[in-house]
Amino acid sequence: MNRLQKFADWLENVFWYHYKWYWVLGVAAAAFAALSLYGNITEIHYDWKIAVYDSNLLEDFSSNAATAEVFLTGFLPDYNGDGKTQAEFVYIAETPDIIGDVPLFTAFSDSDIYALVSDLETLTEWQSYGFLGSIYPIPSEWPSFASVGVQSSIYPFPNGKLYAAVCNNPPAVTDVELARANGYSDAEIAEMDAAIAAQRAEKTLVIDDALQTIDDVLQTLNSGK
């Protein structure tokens, strides 16, 4: 029996017989780790979630919404610090079979949404109800932001009839029953809820400050015309 045959015999009758389940479990664990790593690498970690609401008051809503998306993605800060701003935009449209602005309650009940983009009339109305904070204009055209120290690529903005408002959405709360089932005490659950609320408050201030900065730059440029 040559060396290759001896190795094949050992592999089949010794190694595979005694260690096959260790080998199978090892391969499965390695595959799971590889898939998890791939998922973490390819998963998009959004800095911001923004609702965009079409109230049917603007005929050219789509073109304005597209440019607003580019503008906000370019100027909002990189909150999670991964090197670039990632913003998720959720589009909501008024439909003929729904009376009033009921679809907007979807945006106002989502604790992950921090701003609402729509026309000024709609935002002003919902601001009066307490759902929105400050309202800021989205530029009608791309001015020379570099002249006031703001760096960005050139991009043409048509019309500019949309505005962005900060949402006063409530923070998320922990599922108490699920948390208790996983061994968390009521005190620990309260601490988690407090941490979630604190992050919501912090991110609200950050996005409000960013939109205010944009508005300040626009006013500075307009005053110089």
- pLDDT tens column, 57-81: 777 777 777 778 877 887 888 888 8
- The pair of three-digit structure tokens given for residue 51, joined into one six-digit string: 């609702």
pLDDT greater than 90 at residue 202: yes
Q: Give the pLDDT confidence score for residue 72 in this predicted structure.
A: 83
Check whether residue 58 and residue 97 sit in a common domain.
yes
Residues spanned by the domain of 28: 1-43
Check whether residue 73 and residue 129 sit in a common domain.
yes
Check whether residue 153 and residue 56 sit in a common domain.
yes
Check whether residue 65 and residue 173 sit in a common domain.
yes
- What is the separation of C-alpha 14 from the centre of its chain, rounded to a whole number of angstroms? 54
State the pairing for strand pair 87-93/48-54: parallel
Check whether residue 130 and residue 176 sit in a common domain.
yes
pLDDT band at 159 (very low <50, low <70, confident <90, very high): very low
pLDDT greater than 90 at residue 166: yes
| β-pair partners for 51 | 90, 116
Check whether residue 177 and residue 217 sit in a common domain.
yes
Q: From CA 115, how far away is CA 88, in angstroms rounded?
A: 11
pLDDT band at 7 (very low <50, low <70, confident <90, very high): low
pLDDT band at 221 (very low <50, low <70, confident <90, very high): low
Q: Give the pLDDT confidence score for residue 222 in this predicted structure.
A: 61
Check whether residue 88 and residue 185 sit in a common domain.
yes
Run of H or E residues at 67: helix 61-75
pTM, two decimal places: 0.70
pLDDT greater than 90 at residue 149: no
Check whether residue 6 and residue 105 sit in a common domain.
no
Q: Give the pLDDT confidence score for residue 182 in this predicted structure.
A: 87
State the pairing for strand pair 162-167/48-54: unpaired
Q: Give the pLDDT confidence score for residue 152 in this predicted structure.
A: 44
Check whether residue 33 and residue 53 sit in a common domain.
no
Run of H or E residues at 213: helix 186-223
Contacts of 164 (CB under 8 A, 6+ apart): 50, 68, 72, 115, 116, 117, 135, 136, 138, 211
**Domain total of the chain:** 2
Mean pLDDT of 163-173: 89
Check whether residue 65 and residue 36 sit in a common domain.
no
Q: From CA 112, how far away is CA 201, in angstroms rounded?
A: 12
Check whether residue 179 and residue 100 sit in a common domain.
yes
Kindly tell me the sign of the dihedral angle through the C-alpha atoms of 212, 214, 218, 223: positive
Check whether residue 134 and residue 70 sit in a common domain.
yes
- The pair of three-digit structure tokens given for residue 166, joined into one six-digit string: 């900060």
